[in-house]
Each structure stands twice: as C-alpha cells, then as structure tokens.
Amino acid sequence: MLKRKKFFIGGLMLVVAMSYLGFMGFQNSATYYYTVSEALAQGNAIYERNLRINGLVVDGSVERVPATSTISFLITEADQTIKVVFSGVVPDTFKDSADVVVEGRFDETGVFQAKQLLAKCPSRYEPEEVETTKR
Amino acid sequence: MGTIGYLALFLALAASLYSVIAYFLGGKKKQLVLLASGKNALLAACGLLTLSITILMISIFRHDFQIEYIASYTSRDMSVTYLLTAVWAGASGSLLFWVWLLSVMAAIIVLQRRATGRELVPYAASILMIVQVFFVFLLISVSNPFHRLPFVPADGRGLNPLLENPGMIFHPPTLLAGYVGLTIPFAFAMSALLSRRFGDDWIIAIRRWTLLAWLSLGVGNIVGGWWAYLELGWGGYWAWDPVENASLMPWLVATAFLHSIMMQRRRGMLKIWNMVLIILTFALTIFGTFLTRSGVLSSVHTFGQSNLGPLFLGFIGLSLFAGFGLLYYRSEDLKGEAEMESMLSRESTFLLNNLLLVGATFAVFLGTVFPIISEAVRGTKITVGPPFFNQVNAPILLAIILLAGICTLIGWRRATPRNLVRSFLTPVIFAVIVVLVLLAAGITHAYALIAFGVCAFVLSTILYEWFRGTRARHHTRNENYLIAFFNLLGANRPRYGGYIVHISILLMAVGVVGSSVYAIEREATLKPGDATNVGRYKLEYINTDTYETASRLVVASTLSVYNSDKFIGTLTAEKYFHRSYDQPVTEVAIRSTLREDLYVILLNAEEDGTVVLKLLVNPLVAWVWIGGIVFIIGGLFAFWPDRRRALAAPVRSGEGG
C-alpha cells in the first residue's frame, strides 16, 4: 500500500509541475484574437493589450518605406479597416486581398504596430478562383 | 474518364461495407466462407481504390481541366514530378490518397502469413474497413476529387511556386502514411478487445507496423521542418502551427505506446494503458487529418474552408466512444500480471516517460485548440503562441531525454542504491566534464548548459552500454572488438535500433537548443560596396542582378562572405517572380556548417541597387537534420526483420531498451 501511495504522490507532483509550466506559459503568451470589426468594437480596451487581428489586405493599400523592411497596409473585415505597420520578413503569400493575421499593439494614433505578420497559406486554394479565371 | 473514377469509389464503398459485415459475422461465428468472401471484398475494394487513384493520376497527366481538382492544383507547364505530387496537393486528392494507402495496408494485413495473431485478423479487418467506409463516403459525398466543372478551363491554376521543393514530394506522403499506418495497431487492439484475446498476440502482431508508421510520421515531421527552413524563409523550422501540432501529437502518443508495449511484453503490465494510448493515437491521427482540411484553426497550411468538419468530429467522437466503451466493458479482464516493485526500476522510468509524453501531448493539444475552447466558454478567442509551447514543452522534453539515460542504467524490477551509484558514476562524470568544457568555451546560458549536460549524460550511458556489451562479447566469444560490436547490435535489433533513435533525439535536441538559444539576427540596408557584420562573419554586398528565365524574373543579390577577414565564399539571396503565378518566392541563401548556418534573406531590392537584408546566424541547426538521418537509420534498424523471431518462443522475450 505504501508503494501505491508513493506512486500516487509522485504522479500528483508531476501533474502539479506540468500545470504550473502550462499556467506560466499561458500567462506569457495568451493573446486575444479578433477580427477587424471585433477589435474596433472593443473601444479603448484594445490599447492596453497585445492582440492578434484577422482581416483581408485592402487592394492597393500596401506601401513600402524605401530602403527599409517596413511596410504599411490596411486590413478590412465587415466594412471596417485598420491601418497596420510592420517591419521584418514579409511572407511570400502576403499580397492584395490576402487573408492575414497580425500580432502586436495599437499605438496612440490608432495605427496597429505589428510584430508579426502571418498570411495564409501555401496550400490553400479557393475553388471559386478557378471560376474567376474563366470569366 | 473521371466518371469511371467516381464510379469506382461507389463500388469500393459497397465492397468495403460488405467486407465490414462479412468479416465481423465471419469472425463471430467462425464461418470460413464468410471470412473468405470478406477477404475478397476487401481486396476488391483495394483494387477499386487503386483504379480510382490511377484514373485521377492519368487525368492529371492528360490535363483534364474539366475536373475541378485538376484545374485547381495543376497546370500545363508543370513538370512530371510535380504533376505526380498534385495527387496530395489538395483536400480531396489527399483524402483519396489516404484511403488508398489504407486499402493497400489492409490488403497486406489479410494476405500476410503470420505466426501470431491470426485469430485477430477478421475483427481487425472489419475495423479497418469501417474506417475505409468513412473515408470513401467523404470522397463520394462532400469531397469528390472527380467533381466536374460546367466548362473546360484552358489551363489550370498550377502549383503554388512555394510548394515547388523536394519537400512537396516527401513531406505529405510520409506524413499521411504515418497517419494511416497508425490505424492498424488500433484495429488490432479493438479486435483483441472484441474477441477477448487479451494476451500479447495483438502487440506482437502490430509492433513492426506501429514502428514503421511512427517512423514515417516522424520523418514526415522532420522533412516538413527542413522544408520550412529552406523555403518559407523566416529562419526557423518549427512554428507550433496547428497543423504541425496535429502531426506531432499522434507521434508523441505513439512514442509512449511503443515504450509501454515493451512493459506489457516484458512484465505483463500496463495492459489497459496500452489500449488507452492506441485509442488516443488513432483519434489524434484522424484529428490531424481533419485539422489540415478544415478552416477551424488559422494555420499556414490549411486547405481552406470546407464542410468536412461535422462528419470528421462525429467520426472522432464515435471512435473515442466505441474504443473507450469497449475498453471499459473489458477492463476487468485486463488486470496486469505484475505490480510495480520499486520506484527505482526500469518500469518506473518507463511509466514516468509515458506520463511525460502524454502530458506534453495534452499541453500541445490544449494550446492548439485553446482559441476554440475560449470562444465556446467566454465568447472571445484567445490564442497562445510559440512561447507557451516552448515554455511548457522544453522542460518536459528535456526530462524525457534525461529519463532515456536513467532508464538505460537501471535494471528491470528493482535496483539497489549501491549498484546505481556504480553505474551512474561514469556518465555523470562525463556530463560534468562536458559542462565544464562548455563553460570554459564561454557558454554561460543556464538553459543551454543544462540541456547539453543532460544530452552528454544520456549519450555516455548509451555508449557505455554498447561498450560493455561489446567487451563482454569480446571476452566470452573471442570476437574482435569491431565484429563483437556489430554482432551485439545485430543480436537484438529492436533494442539497439531504439538506442540509435535515442541518439538521434539527442542530436536533434542539441540542434534545437543551439539554434533557439544562440541565434543572432539583424537587419541591414546596404548599398553596393557596403559591408556589415553578423556574428563572426563580415558580409560585403557586391550587387543585385536582375534577369529573366523562361518562367520567371529573378532578382539576385550577391554578397562576399568573410570569416574573420578571410574570404570564404559568396552567397546569393534571391527573389523569383513567376509569370504564371501572382506571388513572389523568396529563395534564402544558406551557408551551412556543422557549427552554424549563415542565413540571408533578401527582403527588398530597390531600383538603385540598395537592398534590405535579414541576416541570421543559427548555431548547430545542421545537427537537427543529421539527427533526422540517424532517426531514420535507427528506426529502420529496429524495424528490420529479426532472424530469431521465427524461432522465438511465445514467452516474454527480451526486448528491453
């Protein structure tokens, strides 16, 4: 019986340790995920937080700052738009009307300063585009 | 032609369905006639699916663009090799490939002559055919690869140029073969429960299948990481993307399973636990197959929105419910034959290794689906990023690696403190020396020191074990050391293959730690003639060349690389602009050595020759890929048929590790 107790206590300690790791990791990286319109509906609360925002790149809105890796563009969803500034490695899949997720914060002027830019996605193909090429 | 392919799917559905019933009833009532007709139906289904996938391939090669799938994923200018990969480039094609692999494996299962577990085949075949029915049904109903467009496009959309990489040839099929292969141990486990054959037969029957599937899944993941590193151009190889996680999870649980079945064979323990692990593994493979083909989680490589979701979730729920339900009803009969005797035993290290692997899987699962959970519970999506996965998993994985070393040193049943001290002494001293040397070399990062120390410890336990075995053979059989060493390894392939895999994990761990702790990155804007430093390297920007090839415009920036003022070569970072595909492709320049990779990304090239570059130095990355190759060698070594097996008595035979 004593042996069982030992194994039980050992297992419990393991679970506690893993939960602790999980909790700390969670605290350091939990990020709210909004679409453009959801983010704007949050009001002033969005200025305090690290956020991920999903939207489509507005056609023709991508501007490059010469001789830097900085770009700015608009993302849209449900008729609302947010201006995003990002510097770094722009994924090859990023282009007009790409579906993107940006992670970062809003600055005081309401521009979203992105630290990370994700664009879907090498193996994604929308069937309807086949039809548009036909028309 | 496509119509025949679609028709073949219908017939395959009927044949599989018949096979499910015939095998089940035949197994239950022990009617040989029914079993024989079940087998024929299973083989017919395999033939029909082969016909179907062959027709898809022929149609791809004949550019039959009226088939929507072919118009979406291929074009006239694609090379033969990449046309071949189009079979698994999209959702419905890859599902067809999935179920075709399943039907081939099922055919091998029923045709194979086997010494043990023959009685398990009928129910197992029945279960395999249930899975097959589900997938063929998906193909017929919601994900038809032969769906025809109302018109014939002149050309297809072609393959995304980002996917034009050998990775596209190896990554999807190895991953899928891994997923599919893990269905087989599940089917045998369920068969064992159904037929009340609770012995070790089912485990003996599927060990090598499981090993091969697990190896394939592991290779698929490594190739995926290598591909991302070369092609996606952000300097990393693993991003904790939901789809990556989806293929890591079944691999982790299958790893636990491969270890815990050793416990059952050696000591008759953990019988219920083995069942739990294999049910989870199967559910996770289906979950992984599903996640890639649904839009539920935003990922770099989903196939786009689809209506497969409810069907898949229903099937996963059903498998879990049926699996665990059956296990519950039979649990009385699955009592272990032995109890844990001591905390200080190989059994307890195996148990701990299992708990940690499942714990890591659970953490990955939670992090992956957290957005869905939080949206369901609180109405807001909360995502957790790579820091979560790294913080949780790094310590767990390190503990698992440490256990692999401890396990080697501890005997079965019970170890006494005194012989522990003796066997631990050498490896611990070796690890301490390695840490001291690293400290002297200027490595002061605590995490890196701990990780490298642990790896050194585990490596020395394995090498020490090999050395002792070789020496013993040398003395008792008078073989010279080299021959003794190879005979030792050959004498127990599963065991020594396992050790080789452990070494491969160590190599990968060293690569991962080095490249995540000591990576240097910076951005530089350079005019021709400018120079900049990164790490030990000086890079001098020469010029940017723009030229056209048959299919694309190439922008290529060339740099001279100096290591401490010594010229060591040039690097060319490029961007391709394809004429037929509206998307640039960034080709990074990599100078790879065993010590570190110099990785240059061309971010931007201006008209006047000014370029914006991202420069990275990734230490020890090469060891991740070297580890991958060793992983394949070790896995195949363990898989390779053992000549002794034919003679082995059905008692608990030696297969430690």
Tens of pLDDT, residue by residue over B583-610, are 888 999 999 999 999 999 999 888 888 9
3-state secondary structure A15-70: HHHHHHHHHHHHHHHEEEEEEHHHHHHCHHHHHHCCEEEEEEECCCCCEECCCCCE
Looking at the predicted structure, is the pLDDT value of residue A127 above 80?
A: no
DSSP-derived 3-state class of residue B180: helix
Calpha distance B594→B624 (Å, rounded): 10
pLDDT of residue B642: 66
Query: Which amino acid is located at A99 in the chain?
Result: D
For A101, the closest chain B residue by CA position comes to: B298
Would you call B388 and A26 a contact, using CB atoms and an 8 Å cutoff? yes
To the nearest whole Å, the CA of B395 is away from the closest chain A CA by 8
**Which of B64, B305, B383, B581 to mutate against chain A (most A CBs within 10 Å)?**
B383
**Using an 8 Å Cβ cutoff, are A61 and A73 in contact?**
yes
Indicate the pLDDT class of residue B644, thresholds 50, 70 and 90. Answer: low
pLDDT of residue A44: 82
Largest CA distance in chain B: 83
- State the count of interchain CB pairs (< 8 A) between A and B: 164
For B359, the closest chain A residue by CA position comes to: A18
Which residues of chain A lie closer than 8 angstroms to B359, CB-CB?
Answer: 14-15, 18
DSSP B645: G
Q: For chain A, how are helix, strand and coil distributed in percent, rounded to 5?
A: 35, 35, 30
Nearest to B8 by CA among B190, B140, B192: B140
pLDDT tens digits, B492-517: 899 999 999 999 999 999 999 999 99
Closest in A3, A29, A34 to B387, CB measured: A29
Q: What is the dihedral of CA B496, B502, B503, B504, to 10 degrees?
A: 110
Strand (E) or helix (H) holding B326: helix B309-330
Task: Give every CB contact of residue A8 below 8 A, 6+ residues apart in sequence.
Answer: none
Residue A32: Cβ within 10 Å count:
19
Calpha distance A112→B216 (Å, rounded): 43
| B1-164 has CATH 1.20.120 classification | yes
Q: For chain B, how are helix, strand and coil distributed in percent, rounded to 5?
A: 65, 10, 25
Mean pLDDT of chain B: 90
Please provide the size of chain A in residues. Answer: 135
Would you call A10 and B343 a contact, using CB atoms and an 8 Å cutoff? yes
Calpha distance B579→B602 (Å, rounded): 20
Indicate the pLDDT class of residue B564, thresholds 50, 70 and 90. Answer: confident
For B3: left if phi > 0, alpha if psi spans -120 to 50, otherwise beta; the answer is: alpha
pLDDT of residue A4: 74
DSSP A108: T
Calpha distance A45→A49 (Å, rounded): 7
Task: Give every CB contact of residue B239 below 8 A, 6+ residues apart in sequence.
Answer: B228, B300, B386
Nearest to B357 by CA among B261, B425, B260: B260
The structure tokens listed for B328 are 């519950």
pLDDT tens digits, A66-91: 888 899 999 999 899 999 999 998 98
pLDDT tens digits, B105-133: 999 999 988 878 889 999 999 999 999 99
For A70: left if phi > 0, alpha if psi spans -120 to 50, otherwise beta; the answer is: beta
DSSP-derived 3-state class of residue B229: helix
Residue B31: Cβ within 10 Å count:
15
Would you call A14 and B352 a contact, using CB atoms and an 8 Å cutoff? yes
Q: What is the pTM of this model?
A: 0.92
Closest in B73, B300, B523 to A121, CB measured: B300
Range in A15-19, B282-286, B356-360 with the lowest mean pLDDT: A15-19
Q: Give me the residue label for tokens 């200018």.
A: B77
To the nearest whole Å, the CA of A108 is away from the closest chain B CA by 23
Q: Give me the residue label for tokens 């072919």.
A: B70
To the nearest whole Å, the CA of A126 is away from the closest chain B CA by 7
For A103, the closest chain B residue by CA position comes to: B385
Would you call A3 and B340 a contact, using CB atoms and an 8 Å cutoff? yes
Task: Give every CB contact of residue B564 below 8 A, 6+ residues apart in sequence.
Answer: B536
Name the phi and psi angles at B368, rounded to 5: -70, -45
Would you call B162 and A22 a contact, using CB atoms and an 8 Å cutoff? no
pLDDT of residue B383: 87
Calpha distance B615→B589 (Å, rounded): 10
The per-type count for chain A, helices as H runs and strands as E runs, is 3, 7
pLDDT, average across residues B287-302: 66
To the nearest whole Å, the CA of B421 is away from the closest chain A CA by 22
Share of residues in chain B with pLDDT > 90 (%): 66
- Side-by-side strand order, sheet with B584-587: B531-534, B537-548, B552-563, B566-578, B584-587
Task: Go through B242-256 and write b for each residue having 16 or more CB atoms within 10 A of its CB, e for each that does not.
Answer: bbbbbbbbbbbbbbb
Would you call B583 and A6 a contact, using CB atoms and an 8 Å cutoff? no
Calpha distance B552→B534 (Å, rounded): 31
The structure tokens listed for A124 are 């994604």
To the nearest whole Å, the CA of A98 is away from the closest chain B CA by 11
pLDDT, average across residues B403-427: 83
CA B178-B236-B170 angle, to 5 degrees, is 30
Interface pTM, i.e. ipTM:
0.86
